[in-house]
Structure 1
Amino acid sequence: MRDSRPQSIENFFDQASERSTLQQVQQRAIVLNKLNRAVQGVLPAQLHPWCRVANFRQGILVIETANASWLMRLRYEQSSLLSALRAQILPSLTAIDIRINPSLASKGLKTVQENSAQAATEEKPVLRKMTEQSAESLRAVASNSPEKLKKILERLASLAGESTRSTSR
């Protein structure tokens, strides 16, 4: 049973005691954050925005997920997650409890939108320009090439000064 008596706020900040209440909360948060990173490292990337570690108590890891569809996906991964976490960092892990937390849906959606926006900005093609020196080199190679290759090289050399895409067509 918890001690529900009123306490002085100084007790929370008291550094003289071995472990103040805030230190205990901070240590617990650090442990759960490390656990969350370990779980994210084992799970497939598509699940990352939709689940997180909520608690670890008495050998049971509690994972929250956004909705029932992600809960089912996590259940498919549950046995591999359990064995991987036992092998890596939690030999005392006995079970994984998966719960639905609807507030994760909005956070997950926001994360997915940010990632897609970031990916869209990164996918812009890099434009390159061919120098006149490169064009002259191509023309020199074309002069000693068969007719079909000669036409292709000359057409490529004529692009000197124009911007070209970095990807081949």
Structure 2
Amino acid sequence: MAKNRYAPKPVEEVFQGMSVSNKLRTFASQTAKQTELQQAVELALGPILIKKCRVSHYQNGTLFIEAASATLATRLNYMRMDILSAVRQAGYPECIQVKISSSPDAQTRFAVKEKQTAYQTSNNSAKRQMSEQTAEHLNAIAENAPQGLKEKLQRLAKHAGKV
């Protein structure tokens, strides 16, 4: 019987005998550290600027931040000391410098994230309601419409005033 190359492999085989628990533990701690740093930078920058930048990584006392544009990177460079003090207050006193870079790819990633959150908030928070005037217009259009469309328009007009 032929071997199924799409069959799932055990984690041990993927990591080829390395200690999986140590790798996963290291990955989890790095992710937690990056989340803490992102929150500290958010406190320093505010909700508007943080939408266009993110913590790239932290290495040897240097915090790397990726900005969506060169203009924003310049603005963040002016705020470098505020960012540095916020990171130190968040529990990283060994942080000695902040490096800010701009990436053309970052703009598309941030735009996709913004569109997703805008869609989610508009879907969840804003309930639309049909006005009585719209219902009257639908009924007026339905008078001259073919029978199948007439029924659908009248059914739609009944939703006026409902939440």
Does the alignment reach a TM-score above 0.5? yes
Structure 1 residue 125, shift from structure 2 partner = 8.6
Structure 1 residue 94, shift from structure 2 partner = 0.8
Structure-1 residue corresponding to 2:29: 27
Q: 2:87 aligns with which of 85, 107, 123?
A: 85
Q: 2:108 aligns with which of 106, 116, 126?
A: 106
Superposed, 1:1-169 pairs within 5 Å as: 9-13=16-20, 15=21, 20-117=22-119, 122=125
Alpha-carbon separation, structure 2, partners of 1:11 and 1:100: 36
Q: Note the alpha carbon deviations across 1:66-85, whole angstroms, 9 max, x for none.
A: 12011012112212111222
| Structure 1 pair 84–33 and aligned structure 2 pair: CA distance change class (3 A) | closer
CA contact (8 A) 2:84 2:95 kept: yes
TM-score (norm 2): 0.58
CA contact (8 A) 1:60 1:97 kept: yes
Alpha-carbon separation, structure 2, partners of 1:86 and 1:45: 20
Alpha-carbon separation, structure 1, partners of 2:15 and 2:64: 32
Structure 1 residue 22, shift from structure 2 partner = 3.0
CA contact (8 A) 1:49 1:107 kept: no
Gaps of 5+ in 1: 1-6, 128-162, 164-169
Structure-2 residue corresponding to 1:166: none
CA contact (8 A) 2:36 2:90 kept: no
- Report the residue type matching 1:108 in the other structure: F
Structure 1 residue 119, shift from structure 2 partner = 5.8
Structure 1 residue 52, shift from structure 2 partner = 1.0
Structure 1 residue 108, shift from structure 2 partner = 1.3
User: In percent, how many aligned pairs have the same letter?
Assistant: 23
Give the count of matched residue pairs. 116
TM-score (norm 1): 0.57
| Structure 1 pair 115–76 and aligned structure 2 pair: CA distance change class (3 A) | farther
- Report the residue type matching 1:11 in the other structure: M
Structure 1 residue 98, shift from structure 2 partner = 0.6
Alpha-carbon separation, structure 2, partners of 1:75 and 1:119: 32
